[in-house]
């Protein structure tokens, strides 16, 4: 079996992040992810497999057509006895100008085209095996995004 270096894994994540999250190219998961890879984010709940991840992002981008994400800071990669990991920080956001959106763990936007904008940040840990993404575990600013959408009360940021 080929051993993938931390630098190899960083290249995979950079391509995945640019294509999947940045440009909305959902088909990139067929190239870069194992078939049953897992995505975990509090805002959406667990998503398992390529087809489910494609549906989630397509639905998200249909409701927020200008949705985009971009990395901030360097990717950090480490190959450990417990596994190969890559960590990255990112910013993202968009405006709800599409259909109603129900894929939120805390609630849903029941009305289409609310015009509400979201902007939030996050940190993601990717687990890699054999140069492929096996798991994407993130913490995003879900509370901030849900507040911006009016799904939770106002939050005081001090």
CATH code at position 82: 3.10.450.50
The band of 35, judged by pLDDT with boundaries at 50, 70 and 90, is very high
- Sequence-separated contacts (24+) of 11-19 with Cβ below 8 Å: 12/86, 12/128, 12/131, 12/132, 12/133, 13/75, 13/77, 13/86, 13/88, 13/126, 13/133, 14/71, 14/75, 16/126, 16/133, 17/69, 17/71, 17/88, 17/90
pLDDT in tens, 100-132: 877 776 777 778 889 999 999 999 999 999 999
Closest CA to 120 of 60, 33, 58, 76: 60
Question: Any idea which of 52-61, 76-85, 125-134 has the lowest mean pLDDT?
Answer: 76-85
Position 13 scores a pLDDT of 95
Whole-structure pTM value: 0.89
Taking the C-alpha atoms of residue 14 and residue 26, their distance in angstroms, rounded to an integer, is 15
E strand intervals along the chain: 33-41, 45-48, 68-80, 83-95, 101-104, 107-109, 117-129, 132-140
Position 129 scores a pLDDT of 95
In a domain, 23, yes or no: yes
In a domain, 136, yes or no: yes
pLDDT at position 147 over 70: yes
In a domain, 89, yes or no: yes
In a domain, 155, yes or no: no
Taking the C-alpha atoms of residue 26 and residue 5, their distance in angstroms, rounded to an integer, is 25
User: In which domain, by residue range, is 144 found?
Assistant: 6-148
pLDDT at position 2 over 80: no
Cβ(14)–Cβ(112) under 8 Å? no
Q: Which residues have a Cβ under 8 Å from the Cβ of 46 and sit 6 or more positions away?
A: 38, 39, 40
User: Count of domains in the chain?
Assistant: 1
In a domain, 25, yes or no: yes
The band of 1, judged by pLDDT with boundaries at 50, 70 and 90, is low
């Amino acid at each position: 079996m080929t051993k993938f270096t931390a630098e190899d894994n960083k290249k995979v994540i950079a391509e995945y992040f640019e294509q999947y999250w940045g440009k909305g190219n959902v088909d990139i998961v067929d190239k870069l992810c194992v078939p049953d890879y897992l995505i975990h984010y509090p805002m959406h709940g667990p998503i398992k497999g390529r087809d489910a991840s494609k549906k989630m992002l397509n639905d998200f981008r249909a409701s927020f057509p200008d949705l985009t994400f971009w990395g901030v800071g360097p990717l950090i990669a480490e190959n450990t006895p417990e596994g190969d990991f890559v960590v990255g920080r990112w910013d993202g956001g968009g405006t709800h100008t599409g259909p109603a959106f129900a894929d939120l763990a805390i609630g849903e936007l029941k009305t289409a085209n609310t015009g509400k904008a979201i902007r939030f940040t996050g940190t993601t840990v990717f687990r890699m095996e054999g140069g492929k993404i096996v798991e994407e575990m993130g913490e995003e600013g879900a509370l901030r995004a849900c507040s911006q959408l009016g799904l939770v009360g106002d939050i005081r940021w001090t």
